[in-house]
Structure 1
Amino acid sequence: MILSDRGIKAYIQRGLMKIEPFDESLLSENGVDLRIGCEYARFKRINKVLDVTSEEDIEEYYERGDLCKEGGLVIKPYEHVLLHTLEVVRIPYDLVALVNLKSTLARLGLYIPPTVVDAGFEGQIVIEVIGSSFPVKLKAGIPFVHFILVRLDSPVERDYSVRGHYQGQRGIKLPKIPISIYDIREAKN
């Protein structure tokens, strides 16, 4: 079941969920809009192969910047950029959040992959934004994603805070590598 505006306000007022800073004007009938924060990370176009199973300096694959200091960010055609929400969220153990790009930005050709924020997550949300067929300039503070909260059939047994790599993140936290390899021979049995 998707929470309504009343349901979202009730969770926040009872201290069960956090969205800070919370601006009630960004609340809609079935979710809340979240705004762009200051940091960004552009994916660099380099030919070096990144092996996700080894320890490498992930920073060399990204170019970091600050939308607040630079007056915004122009996302080039089909470019991939990491942005984060201004808001810090804390999701309770009986909810998950679905994150969708705001319709106006999608109508400009921008795209984000399907994004789910797990029960128990706390922090700013990092979103990959993929550029349109033409350059688009974004600025910090613009509402850019719609945050839809869905109630689970029961609270989770093992929440994100137990296993989550990105718990407590502020700003852009780059991907965690190495990624573990599981023996697929054992999985076949």
Structure 2
Amino acid sequence: MILSDKTLIKMLNDHSLVVTDLEPEQIQPASIDIRIGNTFCIVEDSPSGIINLEDEIQYKQITAEKYTLLPGQFVLATTMEYVELPDDLTAFVEGRSSLGRMGLFIQNAGWVDPGFKGEITLELFNANRCAIELCAGRRIGQLVFAQLDEKALNPYRGKYQGQRGATGSKVFLDSKK
């Protein structure tokens, strides 16, 4: 079941759901708006020009209030909001239609697991022929929350738990198992 604004406000007030730095106008009828933060990461060029999933990927981190996303460019960004989901709640990351109509795609996996704590890393892609200026504090998307039928047996405690800022892929850790 998708949660309403009334339920979200109740959960925020009793701290069973935590979303930091939240302004009241970010609470929508069935979602909470998320804003873009001020850290961005781009993949560093590799000598071979190939990304190997078994090796750690190197990123260049940029802290800026504005970032110009060039046509065809991909960048990681972060949300301003830090979220903490209880073990019986999940969230979907959805882009804003207004930004999608400009060619800005939020290529996020789209799923926040029950038990996750951290800032949400967004994968942004500019499909337009023009550059798009990204400004910290601007609404970039929304979180839609759904209640699980009961608490998860294995809530999220993975490699991105507690992340702050745009966080690069840690898929290389999967190959070490």
Residues 1:157 and 2:160 aligned together: no
Question: Partner residue of 1:167?
Answer: 161
Question: Partner residue of 1:4?
Answer: 4
Check whether the contact 2:122–2:166 (CA below 8 A) recurs between aligned residues.
Answer: no
Which secondary structure does the structure 1 equivalent of 2:105 belong to? coil
- Take 2:43 and 2:94, find their aligned partners in 1: how far apart are those partners? 21
Q: Which one of 140, 147, 150 corresponds to residue 144 of structure 1?
A: 140
- Take 2:147 and 2:125, find their aligned partners in 1: how far apart are those partners? 29
Flag structure 1 segments of 5+ consecutive residues without an equivalent. Answer: 183-189
Question: Partner residue of 2:122?
Answer: 127
Letter in 2 for 1:137: E
Cα RMSD for the two superposed structures: 1.6
Which secondary structure does the structure 1 equivalent of 2:175 belong to? coil
> How do 1:109-124 and structure 2 match up within 5 A?
109-113=103-107, 114-124=109-119
Question: Partner residue of 2:40?
Answer: 40
Check whether the contact 1:75–1:81 (CA below 8 A) recurs between aligned residues.
Answer: yes
Residues 1:82 and 2:83 aligned together: no
| TM superposition shift of 1:180 | 2.3
Which secondary structure does the structure 2 equivalent of 1:160 belong to? coil
Check whether the contact 1:52–1:178 (CA below 8 A) recurs between aligned residues.
Answer: no
Q: TM-score, normalised by structure 2?
A: 0.91
Check whether the contact 1:39–1:65 (CA below 8 A) recurs between aligned residues.
Answer: yes
- Take 2:67 and 2:175, find their aligned partners in 1: how far apart are those partners? 34
Letter in 2 for 1:50: I
Question: Partner residue of 1:95?
Answer: 89
- Take 2:165 and 2:23, find their aligned partners in 1: how far apart are those partners? 20
Flag structure 2 segments of 5+ consecutive residues without an equivalent. Answer: none
| TM superposition shift of 1:99 | 0.3
- Take 2:98 and 2:43, find their aligned partners in 1: how far apart are those partners? 24
Q: Which one of 46, 50, 61 corresponds to residue 64 of structure 1?
A: 61
Aligned length: 173
| TM superposition shift of 1:129 | 0.5
More strand by share: 2
Check whether the contact 2:36–2:135 (CA below 8 A) recurs between aligned residues.
Answer: yes
| TM superposition shift of 1:155 | 1.1
Check whether the contact 1:101–1:146 (CA below 8 A) recurs between aligned residues.
Answer: yes
Which secondary structure does the structure 2 equivalent of 1:180 belong to? helix
Deviations for 1:43-65, whole angstroms, at most 9, x for unmatched residues?
A: 345543222124x4x22xx3321
Deviations for 1:82-118, whole angstroms, at most 9, x for unmatched residues?
A: 0000010001111110001112111111112241000
Which secondary structure does the structure 1 equivalent of 2:2 belong to? coil
